[in-house]
A and B are shown apart, each in its own frame.
Chain A
Amino acid sequence: METVVAIVLLTFLAIVAVGIIVLRDLLAAVVLLGLYSLIAAGAFVVMDAVDVAFTEAAVGSGVSTILFLGALSFTKHEQKPRGNDSIIALIFVVITGGLLIYGTLDMPHYGRADSAAQMHPDLAVRFLEVSIDEVGMPNVVTSVLASYRGYDTLGETLVVFAAGIAVLSLLGLKRRRPEEEAPEDAPGDTPKIDPDDVQSQY
């Protein structure tokens, strides 16, 4: 039964992806990207990845959509209309897809417990057995993330910090919009002429 749910969700994902390709309106494409992330989060729950589903739903269809909409509000909402799509790109993509599908014929089937990823003695098998004695918490994903692989998580925190710094130095905290005045009833703030500029924020 779970397999049927997973297959149906995957088919939805493919349909939404085709929708994102075809749409020319960027606002609609961003909303579809949020929908894509949400369906993927549902599919992750079916795959028993509850932590990942939580993060994907919060980050992918929450924060990422807000960032895209914010960026779109600075720029235009529509792609420029094009004449014809590139055939070379389509051929390249089809060939690459065909090669990849040929490559998956050797991969372990969905759900098999005797694949190399499940049977390796140092990783999953060891973590699931030993984690409750060495770390003492039921959530194995947190114990692996914070204790066995704590160094990777430090690097990830540094990456997030660097992204925050990069956006802070690129955009600053006060910017000028293309239109100089806010509409009357927008739930935003009215623009003020501010004497200090971006650099003096630091």
Chain B
Amino acid sequence: MRRAIPRRLTQTTSRANTENTLVKLYPRQRHRVLQVVTKLVIPFVLMFGLYVQFHGDYGPGGGFQAGVLFASAFILHGLIFGLQQTRRVLSPSVLRVMMSLGVLLYAGTGALTLLMGGNLLDYDVLAHDPLHGQHWGIFAVELGVGITVTGVIVTLFYGFASKR
């Protein structure tokens, strides 16, 4: 009967386990610090972008700044992890839809105000009360701007950073 290999030789230590996981998650050894820090920082950047988008009414901010911040998070991901991984996260077809969706949202708000009886982009008619109508109109418009700017800037980055 063959003697079983003693367990101590095949059992991996917990430190080796952690290193294996690290190697699988972050395959490029020389940039591991950058990769770990990037994965920690990106959610905060995205959250800050959302904050700036929706608090543009009460402080500095608005659609453009939020769109650029959002795109910066994806650009950081692309710089550190490689463009192929970022294209798996945010694929170019989604970007195409995002670019057009923002403009559609903006112009659609204008068309909606026309249909509801006001002038183009006259937000007063959007709700029962002019103040609420302005609030909803500006919300939709800034959202459209933010989505378009995000899509366009990440598309620009893909165009300039890609290689065959």
Decide if A and B touch, CB cutoff 8 A: yes
| Chain A residues closer than 8 Å to B99, beta-carbon distance | 161, 164-165
| Chain A residues closer than 8 Å to B123, beta-carbon distance | 147, 150
Within 8 A of A (CB), among B16-60: 28, 30-31, 34, 52, 56-60
The complex places the Cα of A58 from the Cα of B151 at a distance, in Å, of 16
* Count of chain A residues near B, Cβ 8 A: 58
**Contact status A135-B138, CB under 8 Å:** yes
* Count of chain B residues near A, Cβ 8 A: 62
Task: Give the distance to chain B from A192, nearest Cβ to Cβ, in Å.
Answer: 8
The complex places the Cα of A182 from the Cα of B162 at a distance, in Å, of 12
**Contact status B152-A142, CB under 8 Å:** no
Q: Point out the residue from B34, B72, B83 that lies within 8 Å of A58, measured CB to CB.
A: B72
Q: Point out the residue from B28, B149, B163 that lies within 8 Å of A175, measured CB to CB.
A: B163
The complex places the Cα of A158 from the Cα of B85 at a distance, in Å, of 30
Q: Point out the residue from A73, A74, A154, A164 that lies within 8 Å of B151, measured CB to CB.
A: A164
Main secondary structure of the interface of B (DSSP, over half): helix
**Contact status B151-A157, CB under 8 Å:** no
Main secondary structure of the interface of A (DSSP, over half): helix
A120-131 vs B, Cβ < 8 Å mask (1 yes, 0 no): 000000000000
**Contact status A55-B68, CB under 8 Å:** yes
A188 within 8 A of B: yes
Task: Give the distance to chain B from A134, nearest Cβ to Cβ, in Å.
Answer: 7
The complex places the Cα of A54 from the Cα of B161 at a distance, in Å, of 25
| Chain A residues closer than 8 Å to B144, beta-carbon distance | 157
A-B CB contact pairs (8 Å), 18 listed: A51-B62, A54-B61, A63-B72, A135-B138, A137-B134, A137-B135, A138-B58, A139-B58, A141-B60, A142-B138, A143-B138, A145-B62, A157-B102, A160-B149, A163-B156, A167-B155, A172-B159, A187-B34
Q: Which 5 A-B pairs have the closest CB atoms?
A: A70-B160, A164-B152, A171-B159, A137-B57, A189-B84
